[in-house]
Amino acid sequence: MPWRAHTRLMAGRTTTPPLVYRNLVSVPMALHLGVLAIYIALCIVWLTDVEQNIHVSLASAARTQTWINLASHVIMLAFATAIIALMQPIATRSPFGNLPQTLTTLADKVSAWSGLGSSILSLFHNLRYPATLSNALLTTTYFATLSGLGISSSFLFDVPAVNSTISSNMTTRIGTPSVRALVPPSINGVPKDFSAISFDWYRSGVGVGMLFGSNATIYPGLSANRIYDTLSPPMGASSNSSVVVDYTDFNVKCGAVPGVSISAMTPQDIQKQVISAAGKAAGGYDLRLPALLQMNYTLGEESMVLYDSLSISEMNTSFAVSRLWQPADVLVRVPNSPLVPGIGRNLVLYNIYNETGLVAGSQPILDAKNSTGSPWPLNVQRPQGMPPFVTGMMVQAIGCSLFTSTGQATIDGTTNELLDQPTPSEQADVNSTWDGWQPDLTKSNKLEDMWASMFLPNGSISLWDDQPQPTNGQWSCINYLPTNSSSNSTWNIDQLQQMYQGCHIPMLIEEYLTTRLFGPSTIRYNGLAAFLGDVTRSPLGQNATLATLESALANATAMTMWSAARQSTLSTYTDVSPSERNQSSKRAFVFDENSQMPFSTRLAPATGHAVVNEQVLVGRVSLNVPSLIVGTILAALLTGIGMYVLALGDARVGGAPIEDAGLLSLMALDNSAIASRLTGASMYNSNTRRRAGAFLVKIVDGRLVPVEGAGEYELDGKGSSL
């Protein structure tokens, strides 16, 4: 039978005033908007990284992720349940308020809202025989969106393991000596300079001996020429922590002493006989000429006179440079020097080398221009008109000044070692030249103003004891200082003090500087050498340079300062008595037969605080971006479909004649007229049944009846209402 046109059937529909705005302002719409609002809020959280501020312990990260995702899934499940519970009655009841519609359309709309499976089946049937294809597609999309939201909500959050920084305030050991703490208590406050304070570096200088090896940087708080604060105690071995601490760099500038004059003399023609049995070897015999070296220069307005004593071999000039202070083989000497009050940044030393062949490993110190400067030939003046004794050795007078720089550096919290070591350019000036030095006459109360006495003989460790009766073959002031009498065997304290000002036992600092410049020493004995003490230096493969000397002095200074600050090895003295307001704490003077003991103090270790940043593995809550994006799109799609169903679908008409579209409600309707129309159709073929139900129906007085005179309606999937 031919189908009637769609326009004739639409004329028989009953219209009801639309309820668009009423449906949009409803609980179902609020639930849809609630889902969308949740995802929009999560997107804002993601964009602002707020969730990444939530950290949990690494051990509970997996459990936290499970519970958070479970909670989000339960919340979405609750929303989905509430939405379906409210939308399903509306969507299944509303078609009966928008009659007439075909019986097949009503059946598809009611069955499609039973769930995702039913909507997919309805879509399948509509693809074979379109009755309400758009409605089936919309309903399937709606349920698929709800299912997708349920799935994506289970993967919204991740709790990956990340490095997190935990900051805490920890105690530190101050690495730099405190100027305030080293001032003797009899002085009020910190003086503007150190004119009235003497420094005893003797115990602090012991650490210089540890700089000979390659492990000089293993000491906490010391790295090359830098001293710095350290954690006390350090963090545990498993900690990944760092801390920013204060540091002080010591830098030395050296060059030729301007205006220096050098001379060497022996007061009378005295020869010291030295005999060595040399164990089971042949032994040897040598004649030594005691000589007094004098250096004159000007420090500010003060005329400075420095003395040193040498024992010059007259029989073997090839090895004379290594026998000057035998058994020591130092080549760099720091002569004793008077101190100018307040001027404490300068030090004068000298290098001595053999110009003819450099046989004992000695060599000149070169500057950046490979220049030796203006070395002085060591020719000893002898009395009674005797010709000078030409030694073949040269003397380089070197002046050095100390300056400091401060800053902050990052250290490892577990080892207390610097994470960024000082660069060589920070330790010494590779462009140093002989003519680039002038004494620093600054007077202040900084660390560099304590330096002048640090490496002088009175404050430095000697390589051996200065015994009253030195052992045979051991260099001593008593044996080798030129005197007017060779028969003197006893001296009073004044004579010994005067003698000590003109010579000193080779010191540890001199051995260190010599080794840094010229390499370690090696004994040369082939059966012919006169003494086992004859040694040669093994150069380190490069020339001795002024920059190397500067670096060595800077490192030795840092080690000495490090020991003073951490080991309580620095003592200070003053003759300044307490002021009247401190008379109650005034100490009594202690007298002996020679001098008056001054007021003193000893520098004690100091502590401070620093912020430790510890890197630990923690679980950090973060949003799963793909799940968030998919969920947001699905939430927007769900809201759009829900709005369409409520505002533009059958629900816009309202006024359904039944409470719900359940089986009991439908069975309560008198459908005898409908049943007669379907009597001849096969009940075992869904396609046949759907075609048989393609006629318009309406509800009249509780009866479901066909629309009279409407004829048959050819369905195209677009003509029926949603």
Model confidence over 276-331: pLDDT tens digits?
554 444 456 677 788 889 999 999 899 999 999 888 888 767 778 888 888 788 99
Rounded mean pLDDT of 190-196? 92
Better-predicted residue by pLDDT, 53 or 23: 53
> Among 122-126, 214-218, 343-347, where is mean pLDDT lowest?
214-218
Asked if pLDDT for residue 357 goes beyond 90, the answer is no
Report the run of H or E that residue 403 belongs to, with start and end.
strand 389-412
For residue 513, is pLDDT > 90? yes
pLDDT bin (cut points 50, 70, 90) of residue 52 is confident
- Work out the widest C-alpha separation in the chain, in whole angstroms: 159
Per-residue confidence at 589, pLDDT binned at 50, 70, 90?
very low
Contact of 657 with 100, CB cutoff 8 Å = no
Containing 352, the helix (H) or strand (E) segment is strand 346-354
The beta-strand segments (E) located in 603-658 are 607-620, 622-623
Residue 651, number of CB atoms within 10 A of its CB: 27
| Interval 192-214 mean pLDDT | 88
The mean-pLDDT minimum among 123-132, 508-517, 523-532 falls in 523-532
Tell me the three state secondary structure of residue 469. Answer: coil
Over range 667-695, report the average pLDDT: 69
More confident residue, 284 or 137: 137
- Indicate whether 658 pLDDT > 80: no
> With helix as H, strand as E and coil as C, how does 503-564 read?
CCCCEHHHHHHHHHHHCCEEECCCCCCCCCCCEEECCCCCCCEHHHHHHHHHHHHHHHHHHH
The residue behind tokens 């545990």 is 236
For the entire predicted model, the pTM comes to: 0.71
Question: What pLDDT sits at residue 564?
Answer: 94
Query: pLDDT-derived band of residue 217, with 50, 70 and 90 as boundaries?
Result: low
Confidence (pLDDT) at 15: 45
Q: What local confidence, expressed as pLDDT, does residue 427 receive?
A: 53
Tell me the average pLDDT across 191-198: 92
What is the predicted pLDDT for the residue at 4?
38
**Per-residue confidence (pLDDT) for residue 552, from 0 to 100:** 94
pLDDT recorded at residue 270 = 59
Question: What is the band of 470 on the pLDDT scale with cuts at 50, 70, 90?
Answer: low
| Predicted pLDDT of residue 643 | 86
Mean pLDDT of 596-624: 86
Strand pairing category for 346-354 and 332-333: antiparallel
3-class DSSP state for residue 67? helix
Cα dist. 272→224, 266, 268, 645 in Å?
43, 12, 12, 122
Could you give the CA distance from residue 327 to residue 330 in angstroms, rounded to a whole number?
9
Asked whether residue 585 carries a pLDDT value surpassing 50, the answer given is: no
Stretch 692-709: mean pLDDT, rounded? 72
Q: Which amino acid is at 5?
A: A
The C-alpha atoms of residue 545 and residue 371 are separated, in whole angstroms, by: 10
Average pLDDT, the chain: 80
Integer-rounded Cα radius of gyration of the chain? 51
- Lowest average pLDDT, out of 201-210, 445-454, 472-481, goes to 472-481
| pLDDT of amino acid 297 | 96
pLDDT tens-digit readout, 2-44: 333 333 333 344 444 455 555 666 888 899 999 999 999 999 9
Give the pLDDT of residue 720: 42
The per-residue pLDDT for 3 is 38
Give the number of other CB atoms < 10 A from CB of residue 230. 25
